[in-house]
Amino acid sequence: MAGSSLWLVQLASLLVIGFVLGSVEASLGDTDLQYRTCVEECQRTSSIGRNIISHCQFPENNSTSAESSWYSQEPLYMQWKQLNCMTDCRYYCMVQREEERQSRGLRPVKYHGKWPFIRVSVFQEPLSAALSAINLLMHFTGWLSFFLQVNYRLPLRPQTKRTYYEYTGLWHIYAILSMNAWFFSSIFHTRDIDLTEKLDYSSAVALLGYSLILSLIRTFNVKDEATRVMFAAPILAFVTTHILYLNFYDLDYGWNMKVCVVMAVVQLLAWAIWAGVTCHPSRFKLWFVVFVGALSMLLEVYDFPPYKGYADAHSLWHACTIPLTYLWWSFIKDDAEFRTSTLIKKAK
């Protein structure tokens, strides 16, 4: 146990140093004067080089009644068009600037907090969007397999016909929150607007907060409702306040990163130490998930630009979580089996 606690402390401190350094970085690309002039010019003339940005062509600009459909006068449609005009202009100006920078041998820079990605159809970050969808699928199959395990493969309590495993309901909620988070993650990576960004951040924070509650309830073996509420209430209150703060006050990336890293580190430590102390039969599975999970969090902290315009650190992080999700649900099923057999032995 001494060896494993040493690497845990080392990993935890590496993460803490990482997020302190990582949160200082700002977007260089959009402060560049040439980029800003390009975006302004593009929005005004609805063209960039030989490309025509159709979203920037408004009825006022060319009053030849080219667009006289009923919906073209709708304020909501106009807003949508203006939004698309801005994102298209930003995209093409970014591509242009990056080509210039590349020809001069300069490294890619971030624009509005994001690396220069190559679009595929409607997908702004195709790789991250696809990997998020695969993560969702992995959670769904993992959950389904857990459901079948506890309800059909393992025996039920003879009097109540309920599962022996005391944490069944909690894992069901976990599955729903996980799938919700990955759903909004894939939407956000497809189309980054204010709304999709807030939905993605809120669902990720909700999942992280809930899994912290779950990790504490499981590792401290909390079985009665009153004590569970005592564990959950302060975390739930904090997470709710944090989500409201992000949505209605300030979407502060640096602060949010700190909150998320702290919540993640606490639960990873809780799981890892608990598995060692209790000598859980599937502790190696759990340690592997914790170790690789913490390592992959470093990808999120030590960010690097996309390779060939597609694979950046964040997308690799989404790739790492796919096999981890499979292993994680496998651990949860093992835990259900372990608790069930212990309880049956006790009853006899």
- How many positions of this chain bind Zn ion (CB under 5 A)? 1
- For 164, the 3-state DSSP assignment is coil
Nearest to 171 by CA among 217, 204, 220, 239: 217
What's the closest the beta carbon of residue 318 comes to Zn ion, in angstroms? Answer: 6
CA distance 147 to 175: 10
What's the closest the beta carbon of residue 314 comes to Zn ion, in angstroms? Answer: 5
x/- contact string, 279-318, with Zn ion (CB under 5 A)? ----------------------------------------
DSSP class per residue in 127-148: HHHHHHHHHHHHHHHHHHHHHH
What's the closest the beta carbon of residue 199 comes to Zn ion, in angstroms? Answer: 12
What's the closest the beta carbon of residue 139 comes to Zn ion, in angstroms? Answer: 15
Applying CB under 5 A, the span of 33-41, 183-191, 270-278, 323-331 interacting with Zn ion comes to 183-191
Please identify, using beta-carbon distances, which residue of 192 and 337 lies nearer to Zn ion.
192
Please identify, using beta-carbon distances, which residue of 87 and 185 lies nearer to Zn ion.
185
Applying CB under 5 A, the span of 135-143, 181-189, 219-227, 262-270 interacting with Zn ion comes to 181-189
Please identify, using beta-carbon distances, which residue of 163 and 185 lies nearer to Zn ion.
185
Nearest to 134 by CA among 199, 185, 89, 205: 185
Alpha helix (H) residue ranges in the chain? 2-22, 33-45, 75-103, 126-148, 168-190, 194-219, 225-248, 253-278, 283-301, 313-347
CA distance 200 to 122: 18
What's the closest the beta carbon of residue 262 comes to Zn ion, in angstroms? Answer: 19
Nearest to 141 by CA among 166, 178, 167, 188: 178
Residue nearest to Zn ion (CB): 185
- Tokens 């212990």, residue located: 342
CA distance 232 to 234: 6
**Residue type for 227, please?**
T
CB 181, CB 204: distance < 8 Å: yes
CA distance 270 to 160: 32
Please identify, using beta-carbon distances, which residue of 149 and 315 lies nearer to Zn ion.
315
Applying CB under 5 A, the span of 45-53, 169-177, 179-187, 335-343 interacting with Zn ion comes to 179-187
What's the closest the beta carbon of residue 186 comes to Zn ion, in angstroms? Answer: 9
CA distance 60 to 80: 16
Please identify, using beta-carbon distances, which residue of 149 and 321 lies nearer to Zn ion.
321
Please identify, using beta-carbon distances, which residue of 185 and 190 lies nearer to Zn ion.
185
Site for Zn ion in 91-110 (CB under 5 A): none
What's the closest the beta carbon of residue 95 comes to Zn ion, in angstroms? Answer: 22
What's the closest the beta carbon of residue 189 comes to Zn ion, in angstroms? Answer: 6
What the block records as the tokens of 164 is 């022996």
Applying CB under 5 A, the span of 148-156, 178-186, 259-267, 303-311 interacting with Zn ion comes to 178-186
Please identify, using beta-carbon distances, which residue of 85 and 299 lies nearer to Zn ion.
299
x/- contact string, 185-204, with Zn ion (CB under 5 A)? x-------------------
Please identify, using beta-carbon distances, which residue of 130 and 275 lies nearer to Zn ion.
130
| 149 DSSP 8-state letter | I
Query: Contact positions toward Zn ion, by CB under 5 A?
Result: 185
